Every structure is written in structure tokens, then in C-alpha cells.
Amino acid sequence: MSRRLFLFIAVLLVGCQAINPPPTSLTLPIRLIAFWETASGTLQSADEAQPFQFAAQAGDGIRVQVTGSNPVNITLQSPDGTTLVQGVDKVEAALPTSGAYTVLLTVGAATQYDIELGYTDRLNPADFTATPTPTRVVTPTPTPPYYARLGTLIGEVAGGQNRRGEFVRPEDRHVYTLNGRSGDYITVEVAQVTGTVDPVVHFYGPDGSELAADDDSGGGSSARLRNVRLAQDGLYSFQVWGHGFSGEYHIDLAVSLSPIPITTQAARLPTATATPQEPLIPTIQAAVSGQPLEDHVPLLGSLERAGDFDRYSFKVVQGQLITVGVRADANSALQPRLELYDPEGSLIYTATVANSNAEGDVLIPSLLAAQNGDYVVFISGERNTSGAYIVSYGVGFSHEDVRRGITVSDQVYTNEILRRGQSELWSLDLAQDDIISAAASPLSVILDPYLELIAPDGTIISTDDNSGGGRDAFIASARAPISGRYRLRLSAARAAADGQYTLVWRIINRAPTATPAPGTVLLMSYQDIMPENVYQFYPFYGEAGARVSIRVRAESGSTLDPVAVLLAPDGSEIAAGDDGANDLNPNFTASLPASGTYQVRVNGYLSRGAFTVTVEQVFG
């Protein structure tokens, strides 16, 4: 029986009870032991602890005896984890309650041992020979099948059948059986139907060994086992668990004589056209007096009564040019007044409709910041006016963008800056390492275009004012550092004018097409929580010659520093991983030498926490 199966049985017996090993011990996987049974094992050092578990009734007198090449320390723990008795090589006790008890073995030096569990108040049936009588036939009580310990037996499932079930309690686990034939391939998918259930599936062979397990490789809240080849005829079983959540689930079981064809998932390459079309007229959010302003993000505010004022702040770096603008909303009677204060609280600029010359807007154009810190604007109404308004600030020669939509290379676009302090924003999709040029020319005698290329994360890649000759702006060469949607912002230098213009951009050098990444198929994905000083095992089925990629990722907020090892069907180590190139998460590949059940062994390096382990088969 596999160590993973022992773990599941133990969890069912003790209700997820934690074992309490000595603080310096590395707890090995739990093993089950029955009365009058002898088990053997090896403890490599004093840092290891081997737990055994057994079920017993209140009042039972029990004996645990160990023989080994060196003395073995024995600790007997009750179902609630408290220590009942400790000793060396032998302990006896009368059990106070019914339940699952734990025997913990530790050593001072490497030791091979044999452990035997028995009763003190009754004889070993193997030592008793009954006097045969011609009239009596003794029928022994049949041994329950191994899967009886995995959960509630629901029934048998055949290939091509669909079943539905429901988890009502967090501890519910359902077991299904399957009469399998050697050489058949099994594919099982368990998916959520209702509720919050997150299905997990474990598949077992006729001898109780775990062949494969999965949590999330079916996508979303679905578990899927793909093309697990059966090695022998017999009764197989699979356990379905809801991860502690309730709800209905659906099972699809397929049995085939050959592997079911699967479609590989190619890794996505950077693309310049992946970003969807953007709205040309974005929704303006309502303002709350006192909130900070963001660069080129307008807010809709309102002065409800004459004499009211609103206050907003924004952070500025010394030497930046800033432009601030306020305009009355449509149908508003407000005549705005704008006052700007520096971080020391000094009034440094007052703007009104009369002194702004900005088509009715109130404008502070391209002001050079003399110091770092929070600048504050106050908005009030002149001549006892009130009403709605739109306020914004920007770094540079504009405070508000007018979106003009997506553009393509080598096409000339003509449009107009309608208000001083506004800018025109054009979008273009570029691939990483594309190199472009861009040019803007005025069609108005007073407009001096200023051009900026902005990356998807808002970083300004390149700017220009008059490199094209006269008042033409020309960015001669700019490289795209990442793939995504870029923007060309065109404004009037010093926010000094409005007017018509033309804009054109072109590709100077197209980035080379990246080599297609190999296709992959997800074989296993499992979310779990790692305690300290514990090994946990995650099985999957693999075919000889397959190349697999194994990743273990600590979840956000987890302190786990994971370590992973790939184990062959015979238990030998094939490959291992510890820290990745940029983080502490293992990420490595290996080729499988034979067909069978492999295991990913995971532990935390002096740490614990939530994580996800995934195994993908790599093609190409």
C-alpha cells in the first residue's frame, strides 16, 4: 500500500488530527498497522520520526514492541494527540477511549527495526490451534476491502457512464469502483455542478496503491486524470473529495484501448493585437472633495451652494511641468475659480475664466514645480455661482486626454486639439523590440505640436517638440520594451494653443518572430498546505520517454520555501529542484524512463504554507 493511501486512511480515522512529533524530527508518511501484525522499516537518523496508526476500543490493553539494531524510542499518543506513555523498545497501556491511536518511533542512530502491535488481555489468534470437530465449520470474518477506509462507497462505474453526487458535509468523501482490464486507459473528470465544491480525485489500483491524483488540471473547479494505463485486471477505485466544500459534482469516466488524443496547449507568444478595443469616451468618476488627483484622470465634482469650495491634492517632483484645468460641466452655471498652493501652503497661482484664455476653461498651463511634495488646488465659484465641474491635472503640457482610438502604421491621421491644455491620445499595438518613428505636423499657424510615446505601464518612452523642422515634432527612433498597447499623446507645447494637426507613425524595424514555445498538456495540478518537517507526495501517471515540466509555487502570502523531487515508480530519484531563477519556487524538467506512476515529493525548507504543484507533459 502506498504512503499516500496510508495518509488518506489516517486522515479519515482521526478526523484530520495532527501528529505531534518531537520538535527536531522530520515526520515520515504515516503507516497503518493492525493488531498481531509485524511491520519493518528503517530510520536513517535522530532527525526522523516514523508514525504508525491503529484503531482500538476503550478499555483495550495493548502492547507495542520494537526490535532493532539500536534502541528505539516509542511514544503512544491518544486520538486527541496527548501522550499516554513513552518507553524504549516496548510499551503497554490500557486505552481510555475508542478511536485512532498513534505510535511514534524515533532513534538516536540509524536503525533497522521490526514493530509488532498486540493485545495484553487476549491471545494472538495465530498462536491458537483449534481442535477440529467434524460438525463445526469456522467461517472467519472477511477482511474489509482497502477502499472501505477511503470514504463512503457509492457504487460501481463503467466506462462511458456519467454519475452525479453531492457533498453535504466538509468531511464527506465518496468512493467509486471500476472493474478494469490490463492495458485499458482510464480518463476521469470530476466537475462542479452546484455550490462551492472544488473536486479532488485519487485513483487506486487493486492492491490499494495510489496510481494518480489531481485537483485542478481540468480547468476551473474540475479535476481530471488523463490516460492512466491499467497494469492488471482487477477492481480499481477512485475517491472523490470536495476540498471541504459542499455542492453537487459530475463524473465522466472513459475507458479506451489506446490513449485518448489530447490537444496540446501552446504557450502564448507576445502579440501586438491581443489588447481589445478601448472606449473612446471613458466614464468620468465622481469626485470627493479632499481626494488626491491622478495624472490625466479627470473627476466630476460639484459645488452645491454659492460660497462652497472643494479641495484636491496631487504629488509633484521638483522640476516637473504641471498643467491644471477646470471646466464647468454642460448646463452648469458655475464660473470656476482655481487657486494652487505649494507644499509649504503658499498661494502660487490663481486662474479664472477671464485670465485663462482657454475657451471658457480655467487653466494653469505648464507650471514649473519648484519643490517636491503635495500641491493643493481649491475650486470655488466666482460671482456666487455654483454647479458641476470637471477637474484634472497632468504632468507636462496637458491635463486631460481626448481619446482618438487605435491606429495603424503608415496611415496619416488628421484631427484637432479643441481646447488649450487638452491632449490627443492615439493608440498603437506593438510587439517587444519593434522600433518605430512618429511625426506630428501643425495645420494651424499657432499650434506647436509636442509628441510623447507612452508604454503600456504608463512609462514615457520618448518625447519630441521640434526635431522634424520648424514646428514639426518627430520621434526618429523608439524601441518597444514590452509587447502591448502603446499610446501617442499629442499636445500643444506649453499648453499655449489649440488647432489642427496631422499624425503618422511607421515601423522602422519589426521585431523577429519568436520561436514557438513547445506545446504542453497538464497532467496534474494540486493545491495543498505544507506543514513543517513533513514530506508530501503527489502521484501522476506518465508514459516512457515523456518529457515533463514540474513546478511548485508558494501561494501569495505564504512563507513556504518549497523543495521538490521527482520519484520514479521504483522510488528512485530522477530529478530535483529547489530555488528558481528569480524566486524560491522549484521549476525543472525531466524525461520519464518507464511507463507507470511517478510521484512528486514536496517539503518546505524550514518553512510551511500553501502551495500548488503542477506537472505538464512537454511536446516539441
| Per-residue confidence band for 297, with pLDDT thresholds at 50, 70 and 90 | very high
Q: Encode 583-610: b = buried (16+ Cβ within 10 Å), e = exposed.
A: ebbbbbebebbeebbbbbbbbbeebbbb
In this prediction, residue 136 carries a pLDDT of 44
Mean pLDDT of 476-494: 95
In this prediction, residue 125 carries a pLDDT of 61
Mean pLDDT of 301-327: 95
Question: In whole numbers, what is the pLDDT of the chain averaged over residues?
Answer: 87
β partners of residue 602: 536, 564
Cell (9 digits) for 417: 486639439
Q: How far apart are CA 197 and CA 261, in angstroms?
A: 28
Where do the DSSP E strands lie in 230-346?
234-241, 247-256, 265-266, 285-286, 299-303, 309-316, 321-328, 336-341
Q: How far apart are CA 33 and CA 26, in angstroms?
A: 20
In this prediction, residue 3 carries a pLDDT of 38
pLDDT tens per residue, range 345-387 = 999 999 999 999 998 999 999 999 999 999 999 999 999 999 9
Q: What number of other Cβ atoms are within 10 A of residue 517's Cβ? A: 13
pLDDT at 419 over 50: yes
pLDDT tens per residue, range 394-409 = 999 999 999 999 999 9
Q: How far apart are CA 132 and CA 136, in angstroms?
A: 8
pLDDT at 138 over 90: no
Nearest by Cα to 240 from 191, 196, 189, 174: 174
Nearest by Cα to 553 from 491, 481, 497, 615: 615
pLDDT at 268 over 60: no
Give backbone dihedrals phi and psi of 602, rounded to 5 degrees, phi first: -125, 140
**Whole-prediction pTM:** 0.45
Q: What is the DSSP letter of 128?
A: -
pLDDT tens per residue, range 103-137 = 999 998 889 999 999 888 776 666 544 444 444 44
In this prediction, residue 2 carries a pLDDT of 39
In this prediction, residue 25 carries a pLDDT of 56
Q: How far apart are CA 239 and CA 221, in angstroms?
A: 16
| Per-residue confidence band for 18, with pLDDT thresholds at 50, 70 and 90 | very low
Q: Which residues lie closer than 8 Å to 169 by C-beta, 6 or more apart?
A: 246
pLDDT at 270 over 90: no
pLDDT tens per residue, range 155-203 = 999 888 889 999 998 888 999 999 999 999 999 999 999 988 889 999 9
In this prediction, residue 520 carries a pLDDT of 86
| Per-residue confidence band for 532, with pLDDT thresholds at 50, 70 and 90 | confident
CB 424 within 8 A of CB 490: yes
Q: What number of other Cβ atoms are within 10 A of residue 216's Cβ? A: 21
CB 370 within 8 A of CB 316: no
In this prediction, residue 566 carries a pLDDT of 96
